Structure 1
Amino acid sequence: MNRNVILTCAVTGAGETTAKTPHVPVTPKQIADDCIAAAKAGASIAHIHVRDPETGGVSHSNDHFREVMERVREADTDIVMNITAGGGGDWIPDVTDPTRGGPGTDIQTPAERHAPVGELLPELCTLDCGSLNFGDMVYVNTADWLREHARLVKAAGVKPELECFDLGHVWFARQLQQEGLIDGDPLYQLCLGIPWGAEADTETMLAMRNKLPENANWAAFGIGRHQMPMAAQAVLLGGHARVGLEDNLYLEKGVLATNAKLVEKASSLFENLGARVMTPAETRAQLKLRNPNTGNIVSGGDA
């Protein structure tokens, strides 16, 4: 069991969730406010996407990412920032010509995906470690694209969070490490319950965990009703955890959640198991992240 837990709050994703609840943040200010609220509730890390403020749909705007980062960094409440770099991989076959991408297809090059990370230099960014049948669409991230993207992240000095949606993704993430494209102790995020990737159950999480390198830090999350059970299971198996409205909209059956309430519920769950949530400063030291104020790598004695 892990008694010192890094808790990530994924405050808003790219999915069509805004019509289902008023609590999903949309504008840069709303996203930043939710990052701050999650921090005050006890989260260690905020993971962010950005959305089109007019439509609520997916956005890759550097300006939106910049506004979120600036608002959070200017706040009195500290939190580690983790920017998505996995957008722009959605491929949906056209109904009339399935050899072509249809409406909703959104493909970016590795350089385009990396643009907000390279400009804003967050402490963490995601690196989605393979392609996947993602519900009714295909998420596209080829091996060569991943290698190129990993090189860009490494050159920027940002630590990648290696998101693995299936066992083969863990395999390829290890390959990136063997090729020297991942510096230091790797950070893995095991993503469970996405149709049709890794299932959200103990056997799957354990199988993925057992394939991780010995020097890995790792966390896991489940989507929907699996969020809290998978958070607890990750901690019991020695890992860290993620909650938030990107992955789950409900605090309990029939009760819509906020990001802060999900963080509070997870924190209480971990405390009842005999664990505690690490502060952002402790998280930077554990993961050897760059201090956003000084640019220096935080060591264990600096927490």
Structure 2
Amino acid sequence: MQPRVILTCAVTGNLATREQHPGLPATPEEIANACLEASDAGAAIAHIHVRDPETAKPSMEFALYAEVVERIRAKNTSLILNLTTGPGGRYVPSEADPAVAGPGTTLLAPEKRVEHIVALKPEICTLDLNTMNSGGQVVINTPRNVRIMAEIIQGAGVKPEIELFDTGDIGLAADMLKDGSLTGPLMCSIVTGVKYGLPSTPDALATSARMLPAGSLWTGFGIGRMAFPMLVQSWLLGGHVRIGMEDTSYIARGQLTAGNGELTERARDLIEKLGGTLASPDEARALLGLKT
């Protein structure tokens, strides 16, 4: 019998905008409520970014992370929290001199990118291994920097979720496991549908899953219109699943979602119709080797 399925809800993300969906969670209260709604609908894990409450633009402010966590924990102590460490790795070359950072660059020292993890100690946080084109910009996560981040994350007693955007990232994860920068078994997230990364196809997801280090627990997902098709594909291949307004603004073609709760309910319905059963937060902890 296939083990229970861990469902992660990624409630707001870093790149989605209110132009795409006017109801995108932005304030700490909205983000916390979105996590609580997802939990009520069946999510075992909430993946959390924060945003400027006034502009809804991406933020890295510690106080915002702290408020979101506090608001969630005041009402729900069971939901597993997964905080991002992705922001701080983006480079935008200036037009006059590409060696000079232009507007939109967010590059930070690796230690700064994980300060909120050390202070708040969520059970899980992401660790992006990708260096790649992203639109007209570049995301940079050098092997040196991700090793520094991995050491700090694990030293804080937090489990890194390894974010993989292409097959080369899987090679880096394997090297980090081999040299002790990461401790197995790995928790991996295979990201598909980001332009110039892995495409949202069954072949790409299956190939990536086969390449993972032995014993890895993994989730596969897609973005945009491929969010639900890749959710189902991940489950069919033996992986866990993810959905949320970070990944899609739509519940159906041409129909904006009511929110993260509705997306989670649809994901649960699909998995259960296929014969799967969602894991509770404590069941997810057991599968992930977290303290229960």
Query: TM-score, with normalisation over the residues of structure 1?
Result: 0.93
Corresponding residue number in structure 1 for 2:284: 283
1:30 aligns with 2:17: no
Residue 3 of structure 2 corresponds to residue 9 of structure 1 = no
Give the secondary structure class of the aligned counterpart of 2:116: helix
2 CA distance for matches of 1:100 and 1:276?
51
Name the structure 2 match of 1:44: 44
Which piece of structure 1 moves more, 104-113 or 77-86? 77-86
- Where 2:197 maps in the other structure, the secondary structure is coil
CA distance 1:119–1:283, shift in 2 (3 Å): same
Residue type matched to 1:235 in 2?
W
| Equivalent pair of 2:8/2:243 in contact (CA under 8 Å) | yes
Pairwise mapping of residues 52-71 of structure 1 onto structure 2 (< 5 A)? Answer: 52-71=52-71
Q: Which runs of 4+ in 1 moved over 3 A?
A: none
For 2:130 and 2:21, locate their aligned partners in 1 and report how far apart those are by CA, in whole Å.
30
Deviation at 1:3, TM superposition (A): 4.8
The code of the aligned residue for 1:252 comes to A
Stretch of structure 1 that moved more, 74-83 or 109-118: 74-83
In the other structure, the counterpart of 1:139 is: 139
Give the match for residue 270 of structure 1: 271
**What's the offset of the Cα at 1:84?**
0.1
- SS of 1:264's partner is helix
Matches within 5 A, 1:76-87: 76=76, 78-87=78-87
2:167 and 2:263 map into 1 onto residues whose CA distance is: 27
CA gap of 1:95–1:79, structure 2 versus 1, over 3 A, is same
What is aligned with 1:92?
92
Q: Relative to structure 1, is the Cα distance of residues 136 and 278 closer, same or farther in structure 2, using a 3 angstrom cutoff?
A: same
Aligned to 1:155: 155
1:141/1:76 CA distance change after superposition, 3 Å:
closer
- Structure 2 partner of 1:72: 72
Q: Is residue 177–residue 184 contact of structure 2 (8 Å, CA) maintained in 1?
A: no
| Corresponding residue for residue 260 of structure 2 | 259
Distance, in Å, in 2 between the alignment partners of 1:260 and 1:154 is: 31
Q: 3-state DSSP class of the match of 1:204?
A: helix
Q: Is residue 36–residue 77 contact of structure 1 (8 Å, CA) maintained in 2? A: no
Deviations 1:4-53 (A, max 9, x none): 11000000111141122122100111100000000001111000000011
Cα shift at 1:2: 4.1
CA displacement, residues 264-286 of structure 1 (integer Å, 9 cap, x when unaligned): 11100001110011111111111
- Asked if 2 retains the 8 angstrom alpha-carbon contact of 1:49 and 1:84, the reply is yes
CA contact (8 A) 2:52 2:59 kept: yes
Q: 1:261 to 1:77 in 2, by over 3 A?
A: farther
> Structure 2 regions of 5+ residues with no counterpart?
none
Q: Work out whether residues 135 and 194 of structure 1, in 8 Å CA contact, stay in contact via their aligned partners in 2.
A: no
* Aligned AA (1:200): S
Q: CA contact under 8 A between 1:88 and 1:113: conserved in structure 2? A: yes
**Corresponding residue for 1:185?**
185
Provide the rounded CA distance (Å) in 2 between the counterparts of 1:108 and 1:277. Answer: 37
**TM-score (ref. length: structure 2):** 0.97
**Aligned-partner Cα distance in 1 for 2:45–2:13:** 15
How far 1:244 moved relative to its partner?
Answer: 0.4
Range with greater deviation from structure 2 (88-97 or 116-125):
88-97
* Contact residue 5 and residue 278 of structure 2 kept, 8 A: yes
Secondary structure of the corresponding residue to residue 106 of structure 1: coil
1:41-93 CA-to-partner distances (Å, cap 9, x unmatched) read: 11110000000111111111110000000111111463110000111111112
Q: Aligned equivalents of 2:147 and 2:80: distance in 1?
A: 25
User: What's the % identity of the aligned pairs?
Assistant: 41
Q: Tell me which amino acid in the other structure corresponds to 2:287.
A: Q
